[in-house]
Structure 1
Amino acid sequence: MKFKTDPFVPALVLIVILAYFFPEAGIEGSVVPLKAISSIGISLIFFFYGLKLSPDKIKRGLNNWKLHLVVQLSTFVLFPLLVLPFYPLMRNAEQHTLWLAVFFLASLPSTVSSSVVMVSMAKGNIPAAIFNASLSGIIGILLTPLWVTPFLGQTNTNMDFGHIYTQLALEVIMPVILGILLQPLGGKIANRYSRQLSFFDKSIILLIVYKSFAASFHSGIFSQIQWHDILLLTGIVLSLFFTAYGLIYIISGMLRFNREDRITALFCGSKKSLVHGTVMSKVLFYKMSTAGIILLPLMFYHGLQILLISIIASRLAGKAPAEKQKDQ
């Protein structure tokens, strides 16, 4: 069994270590304008995202509506509902912050590139994966803030929701719309240089992760988090993944999805986007010194989903030829 390790995962670990030892560049008042750079970077990420979307492919993908419904409901309803019942059990500010971090993870859209790659590896329904991953990103721009913002006021009484939605519109929604409008002119160029754009996306994510963790380390927020909290958080993230994955598997079986559609439902419905999560955290939690903690579950989940889905995809790919022969 062979699978590739995403080098971006150790890069995330290294950038957090860098933020721990050298937080000065990421704090308020730093001579390095990381806030302005990250804001521009976020807008460009979503502009290029809109530029690469093909309206024709989205229209052609509407036929398999049951599969699309399962993926989108799993992403934006199943995941949040798995976390929401635990909210009343939180007893103090630290627990509320950790819960909000997990709930933020649960409300995020699915990934785009890695979902399609994993579905392709496992011999699943690739066109449906492309459609659902793209659609999920669009829906998430609107639904993720709607899930999260009701709980922000209870965490930070100084939260300016008008600023949040204005920044969300300027940095995320408008660039996506502009990219979609310019897609006929620049769509082919964006797809041709998709590898370079992916490198740019990851660079901006690393910058935002550095800034978030640098601010948290500098303010001493992580001194409130113990090692057993980190272990508990890891267990929660693992449980969230396997519970959602198992439920999607059961639902796909009840709906009698074929092998390819079930793979697409499982892989697209159980993954969460580090790109959307990182950039949205900068907008939604801009006044919170706990931004680094907010990103912890997402970073754990990102590494775990790549590892686990890679293993599952490799096994499914090995079984595919035998299953096809049986069907014949």
Structure 2
Amino acid sequence: MPLRSFRIDWFLVGMAAAVGLAYLLPDPGAAGGSLHPELLTKLGIALIFFLNGVSLSFASLKSGMLQWKLHLVVQAATFLLFPILGLLALWLIGPRLSPDLRLGFFYLCALPSTVSSSVAMTAAARGNVPAAVFNATLSSLLGVFLTPMWIALVMKSGGQAMPFGKVILDLLEWLVLPLVIGQLCRPLLAEWAKGHKKFISTVDRCTILLLVYTSFCDSMKTGVWSGHGVGVLIATLAGTAILFFVVLTIVSATCDALGFPSKDRTAAVFCGSKKTLASGVPMARLIFGAHPGLSIILLPIMIYHPLQLVICGALASKWAKRETEQIP
């Protein structure tokens, strides 16, 4: 493969820069700082989901709604298989990892699937795009309730309390309501959104980078990272890689056992193995609030995100060639 086909994603570079800026200049983004993160982060979250609501066409979901077996596999993988594997990992690891990192791994497992990249990868691999759109969207909506439910369960079993009702209300207020408002504005803004996809994506990603920066500022000020070295990064990378390949193998085997055609299998594998950073960072800000270890909680999803993009990108290229070869 020629070197020119490898392009550095500015968003991944931006995540590293946001963390570095938080290390060098934590005061503005920390609680009580000049950026007023308590309000700024919530406004940023609302903006992300408003733009998602404006961009999301529910009409495009209709053709994929009736494939219930495929939907069941994807949603069971996202909200059942992943959390069960997360619970098993917590039991096996025990106290060998810090409580914040263990919680971060389970938070990764409890998150919904991605929307844009799942659909993009499925399209690139010539899979069932309508089914991917339906499942990715359904996953995001279910995640508003199922993600905090799983987190509340794990925190309660660990002797910690989470105000589940308040978290759900916050998610409804700052995630679902802007999404609904965005949908209501579609008759006025749909054409604008269609012609400005790149601008919307840039605003979306820049807002996420701002949330990453403010999420790390408090941790830097309170010294959460002191005592955590390269070992934490290595353990997180190894753990996320193992998790990804286990889920990928199980979902693939399930699709084969159910006799899914290749296009449906592609959609199921990509939607069922992915986790969302775009929703994961905003949701973490609402679920965990000003948790001093928030940056470590977010570390697994921040590493899982580029890992899934690289591997799924390679698979999409391979499977697209397979689909092309099958065309008579």
TM-score, with structure 1 as normaliser: 0.92
Contact 1:3 1:310 in 2 (8 A): no
Equivalent position amino acid for 1:104 in 2: Y
- For residues 161 and 71 of structure 1, what CA distance do their matches in structure 2 show? 25
CA contact (8 A) 2:113 2:276 kept: yes
1:84 equivalenced with 2:90 (yes/no): no
Match of 2:243 in 1: 240
How many percent identity over aligned positions?
Answer: 37
Residues 118, 271 of structure 2: 8 Å contact kept: yes
**Could you tell me how far apart the structure 2 residues matched to 1:192 and 1:17 are?**
34
Q: Deviations over 1:277-316 (max 9, x none)?
A: 0000000110311110111000000010111111111222
Give per-residue Cα distances to partners, 1:91-116, cap 9 Å, x unaligned: 55963221110111111111111112
Q: Please say if 1:128 is aligned against 2:110.
A: no
For 1:158 and 1:69, how far apart are their aligned partners in 2?
Answer: 31
Aligned residue runs from structure 1 range 66-105, under 5 A = 66-89=69-92, 91-92=94-95, 95-105=98-108
Q: Which secondary structure does the structure 1 equivalent of 2:65 belong to?
A: coil
Q: Distance in 2 between matches of 1:157 and 1:271?
A: 28
**8 Å contact from structure 1 (residues 156, 288) kept in 2:** no
Determine if the alignment matches structure 1 residue 45 to structure 2 residue 48. Answer: yes
Q: Who is 2:169 aligned against?
A: 166
**In the alignment, does 2:137 pair up with 1:144?**
no
| Residue 14 (structure 1) aligns with | 17
- Whole-angstrom CA distance in 2 between matches of 1:207 and 1:155: 31
Paired AA for residue 175 in structure 1: P
**Does 2:273 match 1:270?**
yes
Task: Answer whether contact 1:58 1:131 (CA < 8 A) is retained.
Answer: yes
Partner of 1:211: 214
SS at match of 1:27: coil
Q: 2:282 & 2:189 partners in 1: Cα distance?
A: 23
1:190 corresponding residue in structure 2: 193
- Which residue of structure 2 lines up, in the alignment, with residue 306 of structure 1? 309
| Aligned mate of 1:222, from 210, 221, 225 | 225
Whether the 8 Å contact between 2:281 and 2:298 is mirrored in structure 1 is: yes
Instruction: Give the aligned partner of residue 61 of structure 2.
Output: 58
- After TM superposition, the structure 1 stretch with the greater mean CA deviation from structure 2, 295-304 or 120-129, is 120-129
Could you tell which deviates more after superposition, 106-115 or 85-94? 85-94
Alpha-carbon shift at residue 171 of structure 1 (Å): 0.6
Between the aligned partners of 2:137 and 2:165, the Cα distance in structure 1 is 28
Q: Give the drift of 1:61.
A: 1.9
Structure-2-length-normalised TM-score: 0.92
Which of 111, 114, 117 is 1:111 aligned to? 114
Q: What is the distance in 2 between the residues matched to 1:282 and 1:207?
A: 12
Q: Which piece of structure 1 moves more, 75-84 or 87-96? A: 87-96
Q: Do 2:26 and 2:221's aligned partners in 1 also have CA atoms closer than 8 Å?
A: yes
Find the residue that maps to 2:145 and give its secondary structure.
Answer: helix
Query: CA RMSD of the aligned region, Å?
Result: 2.1
Q: Among 256, 278, 283, which residue is 2:259 paired with?
A: 256
Q: Which amino acid aligns with 2:305?
A: H
Query: Partners in 2 of 1:224 and 1:276 — Cα distance?
Result: 29
Aligned counterparts of 1:108 and 1:91: Cα–Cα separation in 2: 22
Is the 2:61–2:130 contact (alpha carbons within 8 Å) kept by the matching residues of 1?
A: no
Partners of 2:22 and 2:216 within 8 A in 1: yes
Aligned pairs (5 A) from 1:18-29: 18-29=21-32
Quick check: 2:218–2:290 contact (8 Å CA) kept in 1? no
Report the CA distance shift for 1:323/1:59 in structure 2 as closer, same or farther (over 3 A).
closer
* Cα shift at 1:153: 4.9
- For the residues of structure 1 that align with 2:8 and 2:255, how far apart are their CA atoms? 28
Task: Give the C-alpha shift of residue 154 in structure 1.
Answer: 6.2
**Helix, strand or coil: the match of 1:289?**
coil
Unpaired segments of 5 or more residues in structure 1? none
Q: After superposing the two structures, state which structure 1 stretch, 72-81 or 191-200, moved more.
A: 191-200
Structure 2 partner of 1:291? 294
